[in-house]
Amino acid sequence: MVSVLPLRSRWASLALMGLLAVMPSAARAQSAFDLLSAGPEWGGQDVPRDVPVRLPASVPPIRTGVEQGLAVRSAPVSGMATVREDAAPVSHGDVADGAARGVPESEVRAHAALAGDGATAGASTVLAGDGVTAGASPVLAVSDGAERVPGSSQAGPLAPQVTPGSISPGLAPLSPMDERSFKVVPVAASVLPGLVFHGLGPWLAGDGQTAKRLFALEGTGLGLIALGGVPIAFTGASRRTIAPLYAVTLAGFSVFGISALANLYAVTSPAFDPGVPASSLPPLELEMGYQYVSDPSFDYGHFVSLGALARLDTVKLEANARLSPGEGNTQVRLGGAYRLLGEPEGARRGSDGTSLDAELYGLFHRYPTEGFTVAGAEVGLRGRYAMARVSPALAGSFAEASIGTSLQGYSYPGAVSEGNLDEQLLFTFGYGVWLGRGGPVRGDALLYYDHRKDGFAGGMRTRGGGVVGSFGLRGRALLTNDWGVAAEVQAGGAIVGRLSLIYAVGGES
């Protein structure tokens, strides 16, 4: 066959074929795609839908970070175009400039439509659909419950909310904190001076927003301590006013302690991937293990630990027992909780784990060697708050607090007197992290303070002669669909350690 191309064109074609032959295959495919998509014959309209749009260098990427109040996360859909959080916003001048430089008009318009969408500040958006492709309009699923196409006021069904745990492998969730890295100096500063100046660690790490909010939390805690502690000192701890003032003072200590731990977490979190709340937990968990108590005031030491936990939609039922085979010491605790706010643990539906429960429990504790028995009931409120709502740097952690009261009776050999009845203020607070990132591992770990003094750990005597509660660390996690572990260490007037094996019934297969 005789070529109809001029001699100069034939030499140019041969040179082009030689260049393509020595280029890597990926570079050849990308170069061919760029040439075709930018050509006037196609006009940028025939780009395959399964090829993600790449923002040209002449058009700055879209900023979706703190400045715009948007939290755009990558959705696990095929052909999806990711958007950089740390990029500058696209303006109409950029669109015109991109067109003047030969950028395909459809690419520029797609990114300009995404940047100019009418999402309100602070709304959480998720990029959904088949991805942003040339000639197609991106769909934004806005947290107010409606899908919107940029430039259109029509709304449709809510697109699935994407959580960090549901991100497919290889697609990391976008966050304003993605550029942060682990730094030794902020960590060291958050340990020593940071215990007094909360927020110092994030401030040294360049995260001014988190630092300001932690300073505010610290100030709130100190204010509550003064609000409750000063009247207690002036009234001489009068029994008529001590209960509410004591509760306010403890609340101040809890806010102060949580801000101190959040200060440390904020600068250490870049060293690991944050966990996420489990999307669902099994309806029934059975537990069996061993507990050891080191208490010089009592003869018991070794216990068999038994437990059961049932989740029934908004109701959670719990029972546990501690049995000492040698001494006969026995403690049984029965009760449950009702979910007032937040999604139930059996089906969180992508929530961040924030919740509020009303609790009611009964307690029976028999001391056969010492010759007395304790029985009573307790009622209270327990809540968890996702710290990511305070700052993105605290994602994967939560704060927990509870307050309540108990009424107990003591049975001794001999006559019954008024001293056999006792009531006490129950209060706990702690800072925890979620274990697991959407896989089979599901659970949490919590560093806490417990103000009650009638448990195995008892109370800790201070130098001033007073008695405070105990400090502890506990964790509970399912390692597979059927099996898990629970562990706890608690220190007060006694040292308590427990390790248990968990069997889940009716979990996900």
Among candidate residues 135, 150, 166, the one where a domain is terminated? 166
Domain assignment present for 23: yes
Domain assignment present for 195: no
Nearest-angstrom CA–CA distance, 392 and 286: 35
- In this predicted structure, the answer to whether residue 225 has a pLDDT above a threshold of 70 is yes
- Please check whether residues 278 and 162 belong to one and the same domain: no
pLDDT confidence tier of residue 349, bands split at 50, 70 and 90 = confident
Percent of the chain exceeding pLDDT 90 equals 44
- Please check whether residues 111 and 28 belong to one and the same domain: no
- Please check whether residues 37 and 124 belong to one and the same domain: no
- Please check whether residues 428 and 449 belong to one and the same domain: yes
The token duo for 119 is 């999402």
Domain assignment present for 151: yes
- Please check whether residues 31 and 85 belong to one and the same domain: no
For 449-465, what is the mean pLDDT?
A: 87
- Please check whether residues 138 and 279 belong to one and the same domain: no
Domain assignment present for 320: yes
Residue 419: the pLDDT is 62
Least confident of 60-64, 369-373, 436-440, 487-491: 60-64
- Please check whether residues 478 and 495 belong to one and the same domain: yes
- In this predicted structure, the answer to whether residue 307 has a pLDDT above a threshold of 70 is yes
- Beta sheet of 125-128, edge-to-edge order: 125-128, 139-142, 146-148, 155-156
- Please check whether residues 395 and 378 belong to one and the same domain: yes
Domain assignment present for 101: yes
- Please check whether residues 20 and 83 belong to one and the same domain: no
Domain assignment present for 399: yes
Domain assignment present for 247: no
pLDDT confidence tier of residue 287, bands split at 50, 70 and 90 = very high
Better-scored residue on pLDDT, 438 or 472: 472
Each residue of 264-283: pLDDT tens digit?
Answer: 999 999 888 899 999 999 99
Better-scored residue on pLDDT, 43 or 60: 60
| CATH code assigned at 453 | 2.40.160.40
For 307-313, what is the mean pLDDT?
A: 95
Domain count of the chain?
3
The residue range of the domain holding 137 is: 47-166
Q: What sign does the CA torsion over 147, 395, 355, 164 have?
A: positive
Find the DSSP H helices in 39-126: 92-100, 105-115
- Which of 294, 292, 311, 312 is closest to 303 using CA atoms? 292
Residue 414: the pLDDT is 63
- In this predicted structure, the answer to whether residue 324 has a pLDDT above a threshold of 60 is yes
Among candidate residues 25, 42, 59, the one where a domain is terminated? 42
Each residue of 50-73: pLDDT tens digit?
Answer: 444 444 444 445 444 434 443 433
Nearest-angstrom CA–CA distance, 307 and 304: 10
User: Residue 332 class from Cβ within 10 Å (0-12 exposed, 13-18 middle, 19+ buried)?
Assistant: middle
Domain assignment present for 452: yes
- Please check whether residues 59 and 121 belong to one and the same domain: yes
Q: Give the CB-side neighbour count of residue 359, counting CA atoms within 13 A.
A: 24
- Please check whether residues 158 and 284 belong to one and the same domain: no
> Which residue is associated with the tokens 């942003």?
132
Residues pairing with 141 in the sheet:
126, 147
- Please check whether residues 377 and 448 belong to one and the same domain: yes
User: Residue 254 class from Cβ within 10 Å (0-12 exposed, 13-18 middle, 19+ buried)?
Assistant: buried
Residue 15: the pLDDT is 53
Among candidate residues 146, 166, 186, the one where a domain is terminated? 166
